[in-house]
Structure 1
Amino acid sequence: MKLDNLKALEAFREIIRLGSATAAGRSLGLSQPAVSRLLGQFETELGFKLFHRSKGRLLPTSQALLLFEEVDLALQGVERINVLAQDIRQTNAGQLRVVAPPSFAEGPLVKLVASFLSLHPNIHINVDSRTRPTVMNLVATRTADCGFGKLPLDHPGIRLRPLISSPTVCVLPPAHRLSAGKRPIGARDLAGEPLILVGHRGGDTRMRIDQAFQQAGVRQTVRLEAHNVGAACALAAEGVGIAIVNELLSRHSLWTGVRIRRFAPTIEQEYVFMSSANVRETSLTEAFYEHCRASLGRRRSGSPPPRRG
């Protein structure tokens, strides 16, 4: 069988999905007569009828239903080729689509993107800020080239690579009695102190913080719950309470005038770099990952950034 026009396959698929040539035409941006003509050409080439009419609707024959799955797979293959071609064009043009949750996009990602652009001034980066589930879906479907997140994450369509392990810290107003000193602050030190906690109670980090207080025999005094680290740090700066948050995000908060001290016991949070598991990473995405991992590693160790050659 020869088909010179993919539109015939598309028309067939949309009629199966939508039940009429008119609806298929709207979906494809074609007129109803044009869709009917494509369908007629397809049936002529196949040598058998694909639909029969019933009360104004086109109902597929048994032969059409057998054919539909293969046609759908073939068109999905064509769509994947188009996406890959777009990826290649964007790589050649130096374009990178990055997505991250708001706290990361407004925190560590700012300097990561800025420093990467200073090393690669001719590329273009699009940064999007979304919820964690949306970040994973955008990366899995290759709407975004890469994304950032915190473990645990579970999505069959994404590849995860390690970035940095970040401990949990206490963020305090500078005049607070616990702001001075270098030793970690434990749950017993926080007995009776108003606390600001981030995230929902069933979350992994929140559960580990709760467990630390339970093991110390200390009842938490939770004054406020925030949805992101930036808000928690801002509230701590205003003296509302002591925020127990992630160090990586807290050190990139826009709020100044706070003190940051380690929380004990150590509660590490693992950050990862996400890319689609269904396609090989572009060279630009790979370069961005290596830059991010090296930059975050230097910041934790206190090493200076590299100079441009």
Structure 2
Amino acid sequence: MLSRRELTLLRAMYQCGTVTAAGASIGMTQPAASTLLRTMETRLGFALFSRQNRRLQLTSQGRALIPDALNALAGMEAVDRLAGDIRQGSTSRLVIGAVAIAASSILPSALAIVRREHPGIAVTVRAGTALEIIEMAVDQRIDLGLIVGTLVEKDRVASLALAPMSLYAVMHAAHPWAQRQGLSLKEIAHAGPIVLATTLPAGRVTRQVMEAARLPYQPIMEVGQSSAACGLAAQGLGIAIVETLGARYAQRQRLVARHLLAVPEIGLGLVWSHDRTMSQPAETLRSSLIAEAASVV
């Protein structure tokens, strides 16, 4: 049986890709981490990682072991959290993964309903990209994940599409174009927009649709969050292109949002583990998010 220390190192190496980085992330020196890995592999009777271009890659045996190893460690951590909750007088915890813009736009009102119906619930919200949140669901590190992106079929993960997404132009109310009801992507492209990074689904789609339309992709700024793009627009630094949730956030900040085009490639969705029974608070949150998503256009 693998010890908790070994499981923790295994997860860190899977996430970090090098022994040095993995050891540092869990407070171990590189020699100590290497020794523990060798001991683990000797006892198991097979190699867990192979080295490729100075990074570690799971072997076929390692890939077979890692899902259950991560689940085992997640279970241990869940027991620790529950014990802590019991000591503090709370016996129930809800762990949510959410992309940043969903956490600041659609999640708060849904959580308010959960707190009303389950006043003793302890809530943890973990941030991440859509792919990171899907992995959290696979590893059972979250009860529910709220993502903006493409819902993919993946073993051990269930998903539910909540709402389609569109691209919007966001600007300060004093911007010369703010009084116009119709804006085209062509106009904004030639003006030089503030865009989301292409590592984000909405940012990637923005670039793709511009290039497909033979428009210049020459942003004046590129940022990693819709809220940051809205903040720059609020300072009068230009017009930002964000997805539907970003536009909703912008309107709450008294900015002007104009619809540009629908992007069926991405949507708002929920993910959760197939292998974990959903708690009543999680069920309440899922129902609340479904209802809240009905207002997302």
Give the TM interval when normalised to the shorter protein: 0.5 to 0.7
Matched AA of 1:123: I
Letter in 1 for 2:197: G
Deviation at 1:238, TM superposition (A): 1.1
1:198 aligned residue: 196
SS in 1 for 2:222: strand
Partner of 1:149: 147
Q: Which runs of 5+ in 1 are unaligned?
A: 1-8, 15-56, 302-309
> Quick one: distance in 2 between partners of 1:132 and 1:217?
28
Cα gap change, 1:189 to 1:262, in 2 (>3 Å): same
Cα distance between partner residues in 1 of 2:72 and 2:210: 53
- Residue 118 of structure 1 aligns to which amino acid in structure 2? R
1:104 aligned partner, one-letter code: A
Normalising by structure 2, we get a TM-score of 0.65
- Per the TM alignment, residue 243 of structure 1 is displaced from its structure 2 partner at its CA by 0.6
* Letter of the 2:135 counterpart: N
Structure 1 CA distance for aligned equivalents of residues 130 and 105 of structure 2:
15
Equivalent residue, structure 2, for 1:209: 206
Question: 1:131-187: per-residue Cα shift (whole Å, max 9, x none)?
Answer: 44432222211121111112225443422112222221100111222212333x212
Amino acid at match of 1:161: L
Change (3 A) 1:103 1:204: closer
Pairs within 5 Å for 1:159-238? 159-183=158-182, 185-190=183-188, 192-200=190-198, 204-214=201-211, 216-238=213-235
AA matched with 1:286: E
Letter in 2 for 1:168: L
Read off the aligned partner of 2:277 and give its amino acid letter. Answer: R
**Identity value in percent:** 18
Q: Looking at CA atoms only, which structure, 1 or 2, has the larger radius of gyration?
A: 1
TM-aligned CA distance change 1:203 to 1:262, over 3 Å: same
- After superposition, the Cα gap between the structure-2 partners of 1:216 and 1:152, relative to the gap in structure 1 and judged at 3 Å, is closer
Show the counterpart of 1:241: 238
Amino acid at match of 2:263: I
Aligned residue for 2:193, secondary structure, equals strand
TM-aligned CA deviation for residue 195 of structure 1? 0.3
TM-score normalised to the size of structure 1? 0.63
Is 1:300 paired with 2:296? yes
> How far apart, CA to CA, are the structure 2 residues paired with 1:80 and 1:215?
45
* Aligned residues of 1:173 and 1:236 also touching (Cα < 8 A): yes
C-alpha displacement of 1:228: 0.6
Deviation at 1:270, TM superposition (A): 0.7
Shift, 1:79, TM fit: 4.8
Return the offset for 1:211.
4.3
Distance 1:114 1:81 in 2: 27
Contact 1:194 1:240 in 2 (8 A): no
Which blocks of at least 5 consecutive residues in structure 2 are unaligned?
7-38, 47-60
Distance 1:296 1:188, change over 3 A: same
- CA–CA distance in structure 2, aligned partners of residues 226 and 104 of structure 1: 16
1:274–1:256 distance in 2 versus 1, CA, 3 Å: same
Give the SS at the match of 1:261: strand
2:292 maps to 1:282: no
